[in-house]
């Protein structure tokens, strides 16, 4: 995660039903925030799970991680920073950073793979994904 | 809701992530409990949304209601009682009662309709549903 | 619900994890949207569950209802209209209308009561709530 | 994760509202299953977040991970195996394995730390936790 990376910033506010009896956001809900960041990234940068679908691929999540530094509470404003990791592997890797009032709340990562119409794992990057990378200046 | 009705009883326990900062189950989560009751009823009494699907119907929920009497807290054991309301209309109506330690926690209702393959509302009960009602002794 | 009522309008977008295998928003998630509408109303009009708390009251939800007209799908933009119902009873009643692309998606209602520090139901409107109503021109 | 470890096995069934438009369990919901496994472990082996609380400690989750091998679908029966990792550090580490029809669905891990009444991170294992470990034969 560095600021030269292709990224997006999504501004959100903690909702009441996302908090648990400890008065903080329940840990599993951060993956909802990461998803909102990822969707927002996809809309802004012109790529989405619907593009993959249109091209005959599913892109299931195969790995998720989150490291918590500080809690968020009901009503807190925060931003999800979503970074695209330009990997050579046939994977879609995003890293996330959640910031609130200038403080680091958590970091995270999701890894997606490509599955073709026969439910087989795709070992090389699909063309539509390489085209998108070229368009974004990530590869030549 | 009376005990002669066709019903099922589903035993559950409140999970931590279902509770909110007031230390009680978040009100919207009762519809998850009702769904568990409804699914359990369907398995026990041999009818499910998959049967409807197989017969070419979707059964979307068009109305939900819940009246809360007492809260549930983390770790509480409770049971969902799911009652089938034998309506003449082309609707699937369930009523629910949640009981914990002998006390009434809440009551609720869901109403589902039948939608055919052309996305049209079905005004008469589909055959597969009438057959099921006959088998259960609800109609002749 | 009429347009002279005290209301707020909250713009939202359907998130992926809010949708179910039928490709539509899971019915119970509408209560999350209503909550976002209610919180937004409270922020805009200067009243919140934290005000109630500061004044020694809890305001649990005792009744929820939703009537579904049309489904929402992943990515849909919609707005929650939250209307304050000016009841004389010691209750906080909100009605909701969700609109997307000019179409009515659903309507709903939530009812909250006031509980004092001794966990007793309050039968008359608390002063802080009457003061707020006066400030908003809802009573004299 | 090996079978000599202190563990628990929790049997569950996938609920409709836990599945997403891809007809599979939404990836973030696996942390709910892990939580159910962890709570179940705690009840069976006599330790819980309430014990920690009673002794003046909070035990927030500071790290979560999940690796997905195969998806779960609506109605699938599965079991969560929750393994206690006997670390020397002042941490509560659980590893998880979800199995359905004899197949590995996913593995995961959660890490919790101890926070004292002054909101300070505790660097040595609290006495109540060491006592529990002794009782379980994990340390001498």
Give the CA diameter of chain C. 51
Identify which of A22, A63, A68 has the shortest CB distance to residue D63: A68
C58 CB neighbours in chain B (<8 A) are: 22
Which chain A residue is nearest to residue D63, measuring alpha carbons?
A67
Length of chain B, in residues: 140
Identify which of D15, D17, D39 has the shortest CB distance to residue B16: D39
Collect all residues with Cβ–Cβ distance below 8 Å to B54 and sequence separation of at least 6: none
Give ∠ CA C100-C104-C106 in degrees, rounded to 5.
105
Cβ–Cβ under 8 Å, residues D138 and D6: yes
A61 CB neighbours in chain D (<8 A) are: 27, 68
Question: Distance (Å, rounded) from C-alpha A67 to C-alpha A14?
Answer: 18
Cβ–Cβ under 8 Å, residues D106 and D72: no
Cβ–Cβ under 8 Å, residues D17 and B35: yes
Mean pLDDT confidence for D88-101:
96
Identify which of C27, C58, C61 has the shortest CB distance to residue B64: C27
Query: What pLDDT is recorded for position D3?
Result: 59
Given CB atoms, is C27 within the 8 Å cutoff of chain A? Answer: no
Asked whether residue B28 carries a pLDDT value surpassing 90, the answer given is: yes
Identify which of D16, D17, D20 has the shortest CB distance to residue C16: D20
Is D128 exposed, middle or buried, given 0-12, 13-18 or 19+ CB atoms closer than 10 A?
middle
Mean pLDDT confidence for C84-101:
96
Each as own residue / partner, the long-range contacts of residues D122-125 (CB below 8 Å, 24 or more positions apart, any chain) are D122/D57, D122/D90, D123/D90, D124/D90, D125/D90
Selected from 3.50.4.10, 3.40.50.10860, 1.10.3720.10, 3.10.129.10, the CATH number assigned to the domain covering B3-133 reads 3.10.129.10
How close A18 comes to chain D (CA, Å)? 13
Given CB atoms, is C128 within the 8 Å cutoff of chain D? Answer: no
D20 CB neighbours in chain C (<8 A) are: 16-17, 19-21
Question: Distance (Å, rounded) from C-alpha A68 to C-alpha D113?
Answer: 11
Give D9-65 pLDDT, tens digit per residue.
Answer: 999 999 999 999 989 999 999 999 999 999 999 999 988 766 788 889 989 999 999
Please state the φ and ψ torsions of residue A92, each to the nearest 5 degrees.
Answer: -110, 110
Q: How far is CA D82 from the centre of its chain?
A: 6
Question: Distance (Å, rounded) from C-alpha B132 to C-alpha B119?
Answer: 23
Give A31-86 pLDDT, tens digit per residue.
Answer: 999 999 999 999 999 887 667 888 899 899 999 999 999 999 999 999 999 999 99
Interface size between A and D, measured as CB pairs under 8 A = 54
Query: What pLDDT is recorded for position C119?
Result: 87
Closest by CA position to D28, among listed A99, C13, B27, C18: C18
- β-partners of residue B138 are none
Each as own residue / partner, the long-range contacts of residues B39-45 (CB below 8 Å, 24 or more positions apart, any chain) are B39/D15, B39/D16, B40/B8, B40/B10, B40/B80, B40/B82, B41/B7, B41/B8, B41/B10, B41/B82, B41/B84, B41/B94, B44/B8, B45/B6, B45/B8, B45/B84, B45/B136
- β-partners of residue B111 are B63, B93
Interface ipTM? 0.93
Instruction: Return the H-helix or E-strand segment holding B134.
Output: helix B127-135
What pTM was estimated for this model as a whole?
0.94
C21 with D26: Cβ contact below 8 A:
no
Give C25-59 pLDDT, tens digit per residue.
Answer: 999 999 999 999 999 999 999 887 667 888 899 89
**DSSP for B76-127, written as a single string:** -EEEEEEEEE--SSSEEEEEEEEEETTEEEEEEEEEEE-B-TTSPBP-S--H
Query: What pLDDT is recorded for position C3?
Result: 59
Handedness of CA A23, A26, A27, A31 (dihedral sign): negative
* Percent above pLDDT 90 for chain D: 84
Query: What pLDDT is recorded for position B2?
Result: 66
């Amino acid at each position: 995660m560095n600021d030269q990376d292709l990224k997006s910033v999504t501004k959100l506010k903690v909702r009441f039903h996302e908090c648990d009896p400890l008065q903080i956001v329940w840990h599993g809900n951060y993956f909802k925030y990461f998803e909102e960041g990822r969707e927002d990234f996809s809309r802004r940068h012109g790529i989405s799970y619907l593009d993959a679908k249109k091209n005959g691929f599913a892109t299931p999540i195969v790995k998720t991680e989150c490291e918590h530094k500080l809690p968020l509470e009901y009503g807190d404003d925060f931003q999800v920073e979503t970074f695209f990791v330009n990997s050579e592997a046939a994977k879609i890797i995003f890293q996330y950073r959640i910031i609130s009032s200038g403080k680091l709340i958590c970091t995270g990562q999701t890894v997606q793979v490509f599955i073709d119409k026969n439910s087989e794992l795709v070992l090389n990057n699909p063309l539509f994904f390489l085209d998108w990378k070229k368009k974004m200046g990530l590869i030549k």
